Amino acid sequence: MNRMRYLRIGIAAAILVAVFACAIAHVSIGTLCALCPVGFAEIVVASGSLPWELLPGVVAVLAVVFLLGRVFCSWVCPTSLLKNVFGGKTPRGLTGRSGSCAGCGLGADPNEGRIRNSLAAQGIVLVVLLVVSFIVHFPVFCLLCPIGLVFGTLFAVSRMFVTWQPGWELIVFPAILVLELFVLRRWCSAICPLGFFFGLAAKARSRVGFLPGVRVRAASCKHAEGCDVCTATCPENICAATATARDMEDCTLCFDCREHCPSSAITMKPDFATSKAKRSVDCSDDRDH
């Protein structure tokens, strides 16, 4: 059960452990902040200089999102790690979590009522924080970023082993994290400015169309008979059977749907015929109202 979830927890946790181990072994791989597109943009506006050495990492992350999809969100991001460990996504999962799905029901298209990732909201957040960073001359979002707070807590612990003086951040950082992830549940889909960059990369990706992604074998899919397992398991509530290209932009390739699909109808194969039929430009008709 939930093999994929445990695998995701394992990989994201391994990254945290690796970063912590590197702090002890003095290998300077840095935290994920060394790959952050938002951090890059903030430094540019806050300092008026271009941090060239950040660029390769940032471009690499965006290239990975373009080629593989938003894998960062479900497999790497410490935020998802916390959500996977402690729950906290509204309608999610067959077991353990609520297990219900808002738009489900025979004859209904779950994707119609789905709350989508809001590139517009994330974009507004990004613009505001760049303006604010420009005014106050420091990267503001780094103080609030849940990824930074997870690593901040980690490094506060490693600092404690050197100075033997615990800091307030050991309490304050986790408290802010709880607020962001478990109270503001729309953090990832509507606030996270990193999601704006990933959303753009995913948009570009969906225009190419043939890149690997979650696809459904129409022959074995039981959606027409009322099966909504993929929607119920999907963290983004995507119904794989009826998903348009716009819906698949929100897919983080967590593979929960693939694991739970009762008829094994979900594949990763680049299927030109299906992708062609599924491509559409309904992005203008943003149903997130």
Partner 1 sequence: MGATASGPDARANVTMDAAERIATDAKADAAVDTVEGIAADMKALSHPSRRQFCIAGGAAIVLAGTAALGQMTHQQADAVYVRPPGAESEASLLAKCDRCERCVQACPYDLVQPRPLSFDIPTVGTPEIVYKAGFCDFCMECVRVCPTGALSWDAPTVSDIGTAKVIKDACVAWAWEGCRVCVDVCPVEGALTLDERGRPQVNETLCNGCGLCELECPAPSLRAYDAAAAEKGIYVVSRESAAAAQPGALTTEQFETGRFVRAEGGLR
Subset of 168-227 contacting partner 1 (CB under 8 A): 168-169, 172-173, 186, 190-191, 203, 207, 224-227
> Taking a C-beta distance cutoff of 8 angstroms, is the pair 188, 73 a contact?
yes
* Shortest reach from residue 176's CB to partner 1, in Å: 10
Cα distance between residue 245 and residue 249, in whole Å: 6
Our finding on whether 16 is near partner 1 (CB under 8 A) is no
Interhelix angle 3-25/146-163, nearest 10 degrees: 40
Number of chain residues interacting with partner 1 (CB under 8 A): 98
Our finding on whether 23 is near partner 1 (CB under 8 A) is yes
Our finding on whether 237 is near partner 1 (CB under 8 A) is no
- Among 16-24, 59-67, 74-82, 251-259, the segment contacting partner 1 (CB under 8 A): 16-24
Q: Which of 4, 15, 36, 238 binds partner 1 (CB under 8 A)?
A: 36
Our finding on whether 280 is near partner 1 (CB under 8 A) is yes
Give the three-state DSSP class for 18.
Answer: helix
Interhelix angle 37-47/119-136, nearest 10 degrees: 30
* Shortest reach from residue 6's CB to partner 1, in Å: 22
- Among 6-14, 67-75, 153-161, 250-258, the segment contacting partner 1 (CB under 8 A): 153-161
Cα distance between residue 6 and residue 10, in whole Å: 6
130 contacts: CB under 8 Å, gap ≥ 6: 41, 42, 45
Cα distance between residue 70 and residue 261, in whole Å: 21
> Taking a C-beta distance cutoff of 8 angstroms, is the pair 40, 58 a contact?
yes
Q: Which of residues 77-136 bind partner 1 (CB under 8 A)?
A: 94, 99-101, 104-109, 118-125, 128-129, 132-133, 135-136
Our finding on whether 37 is near partner 1 (CB under 8 A) is no
In one letter, which amino acid is 223? H
Q: Which of residues 260-279 bind partner 1 (CB under 8 A)?
A: 276-279
Please provide residue 243's backbone torsions phi and psi, each rounded to the nearest 5 degrees. -65, 135
* Shortest reach from residue 55's CB to partner 1, in Å: 9
H helices within 26-168, ranges in order?
A: 37-47, 55-68, 71, 78-86, 119-136, 146-163
Our finding on whether 142 is near partner 1 (CB under 8 A) is yes
Q: How does DSSP classify residue 269? A: S
* Shortest reach from residue 224's CB to partner 1, in Å: 5
Q: Which of residues 51-70 bind partner 1 (CB under 8 A)?
A: 51-54, 57
Our finding on whether 75 is near partner 1 (CB under 8 A) is no
Q: Which two tokens stand for residue 259?
A: 């694991």
Q: Give the nearer residue to partner 1 in terms of CB position, either 7 or 124.
A: 124
Q: Which of 31, 79, 84, 252 binds partner 1 (CB under 8 A)?
A: 31
